[in-house]
Amino acid sequence: MSTQTVELGASRSGEPPRSLEAPSLRIGERIIKALLWSAATLSVLVTTGIVVSLLIPSIAFFQQVPLWEFLTGTVWAPAFANPSYGVLPIVVGTLTVVFFATLVAVPVGLSSAIYLSEYASPRVRRIVKPILEVLEGLPTVAIGLFAFAVLTPLIRQLTPFLPWTGPFSIGVAGITVGLLIIPLVSSVSDDAMRSVPADLRQGAYAMGATKYEVALKVIVPAAISGIIAAFVLGISRAIGETMVVLLVAGAGSPVLSFDPTKGTQTMTAYIGSTATGDIAQGTITYDSIFAVGVLLFLMTLAMNILAIRLVKKYREVYD
């Protein structure tokens, strides 16, 4: 008998050592693995399609408009007689929406999730969670109409000290988008927290920790990767939201504005309204849609790379 490391089967008549896994993948196993692989690679196909359909017309665009002017100009008016292609106003619009959306969705979503997973009884959970999911399913058209008709006047009444003019507001649009993504953040965080192994929870209680200590100091850190995934999903959704911002923020004016009480256009609103509007295809104005689309794509890419790094740093694996 050899003195190698112990391996099953090695002791018998010099057969090659066998691993613990089942012997070489069966045909069925291979097919399944191939099928699953192709499901995953479908995403690459989709991205390629998106990049191709966006990139080609935007190349035509950038041949006419210098990249520098696009990225640093502060007036976005591609359809004016005197066109101006500085993209910053709509970028700021998008970022304003994301800012307010995060401001609303992160605390509310996270606290809903913590409450539902740690404090609420199973019966309360079973009733409340579906109610939140209804919010997710309402058409964004309806939520936008509601925000325009009800939420904006309400917030205007609550904050008379702000210089409100006109019926549009990008700040309110951001808040509405925040409300929209609460179920997303809450559901995914809640599932993440529920999946933390029970012995961690029980151990903490056994050590005398109070409920809030368990929730905030044990469970949340343990589930942080899922919670960050929930945030990233929510913020991605906020960046990409089109209908609500169209209805609640109007399109503002072409100049750069940081004022949350006024209407401003976001990148998605611009793409949405121009794609379904009356501007002729094949013109440089229409091609600006694709340039904005490419910029949007790159922005979300940067954010996601950052988020993946964050998750890797803080993820804990139990068991």
Partner 1 sequence: MTRTRGAAIAATTIAGALLLAACGGSSSSDSSSASSDLTGSILIDGSSTVGPATEIAAELFMAQNPGVAVTVAVSGTSGGFEKFCLGETDGNDASRLIKEEEIIKCDEAGITYDNITVANDALTVLVNAAAPVECLTVAQLNAIWGDGSTISTWGEIPDLDVPADFASTPLALYGPGTDSGTFDFFTEAINGEEGSIRIDYTSIGEDDNAAVTAVTGDVGAMGYVPFSFYQEAGDAVKGIAVDGGNGCAEPTAENVQDGSYSPLGRALYVYASGTALQKPETVAFFDFYINNSAQIAEIGGYIGLTPAQVTEQLAKVASLAGQ
Partner 2 sequence: MSDSSDKPNLSDRVAMPARTRVAVGGAREVTEAMFSSVDRAKKIRGTIIAGVLLLGLSVALIAVTAMVVWAFIAGWSRLSINLFTNVPSVVNPDNAGYRTAILGTLYIIGGVIVLIVPLGVGAAIYLEQFANPANRFNRFIDLNIQNLAGVPSIVFGILGLAFIVRGPLDLGFVAAAGSLTLALLVLPTVILASREALRAVPSSIRDGSLALGATVWQAVSRQVLPAALPGILTGVILAVSRAIGEAAPLLLVGAVTFVTFNPSFFEGGYSTLPTMIYSYASRPQESLQTLAAAGVVVMLVLLIMINSVAIYLRNRFERTW
CB of 68 to partner 1, least distance (A): 21
Q: Does 121 bind partner 2 (CB under 8 A)?
A: no
Of 91-120, binders to partner 2 (CB under 8 A) are 107-112, 114-116, 119
Of 270-289, binders to partner 2 (CB under 8 A) are 271-272, 275-276
Q: Does 21 bind partner 2 (CB under 8 A)?
A: yes
* CB neighbour list of residue 173: distance below 8 Å, 6 or more residues apart: 97, 100, 147, 244, 245, 248, 249, 266
Cα distances (Å, whole numbers) of residue 121 to 118, 124, 126, 159:
8, 5, 9, 37
Among 74, 236, 253, 300, binds partner 1 (CB under 8 A): 253
Q: Does 232 bind partner 1 (CB under 8 A)?
A: no
Is the Cβ–Cβ distance between 173 and 140 less than 8 Å? no
Residue closer to partner 1 by CB (options 183, 252) is: 252
CB of 88 to partner 1, least distance (A): 15
Q: Does 210 bind partner 2 (CB under 8 A)?
A: yes
CB of 26 to partner 2, least distance (A): 7
Site string for partner 2, 186-205 (x = CB under 8 A): xxx--xx-xxxxx-------
The total of other beta-carbon atoms located within 10 Å of residue 217's CB is 13
Site string for partner 2, 215-244 (x = CB under 8 A): -x--------xx--x--xx-xxx-xxxxx-
Among the candidate windows 48-56, 59-67, 85-93, 160-168, which touches partner 2 by CB under 8 A?
48-56
Whole-angstrom Cα distance, residue 287 to residue 81? 16
DSSP, res 76: E
Of 15-74, binders to partner 1 (CB under 8 A) are none
Among the candidate windows 3-11, 50-58, 84-92, 254-262, which touches partner 2 by CB under 8 A?
50-58
Of 270-299, binders to partner 1 (CB under 8 A) are 273-283, 286
CB of 288 to partner 1, least distance (A): 11
Q: Does 10 bind partner 1 (CB under 8 A)?
A: no
Pair of tokens at residue 116: 């539902």
Q: What is the b/e burial string over 92-124, where b = at least 16 CB atoms within 10 angstroms of the residue's CB? A: bbbbbbbbbbbebbbebbbebbbbbbbebeeee
Whole-angstrom Cα distance, residue 281 to residue 304? 32
What's the chain's Rg over C-alpha atoms?
A: 26
Whole-angstrom Cα distance, residue 88 to residue 76? 7
Is the Cβ–Cβ distance between 174 and 96 less than 8 Å? yes
Give the orientation angle of helix 170-194 with respect to helix 224-240, to 10 degrees. 150
Residue closer to partner 1 by CB (options 48, 281) is: 281
Helix (H) or strand (E) holding 11: none
Among the candidate windows 8-16, 73-81, 158-166, 185-193, which touches partner 2 by CB under 8 A?
185-193
* CB neighbour list of residue 85: distance below 8 Å, 6 or more residues apart: 65, 69, 70, 73, 76, 78, 288
Residue closer to partner 1 by CB (options 37, 80) is: 80
* CB neighbour list of residue 215: distance below 8 Å, 6 or more residues apart: 114, 118, 119
Q: Does 208 bind partner 2 (CB under 8 A)?
A: yes
Site string for partner 1, 142-171 (x = CB under 8 A): ------x----------------xxxx---
Q: Does 80 bind partner 1 (CB under 8 A)?
A: yes
Among the candidate windows 37-45, 64-72, 81-89, 202-210, which touches partner 1 by CB under 8 A?
81-89
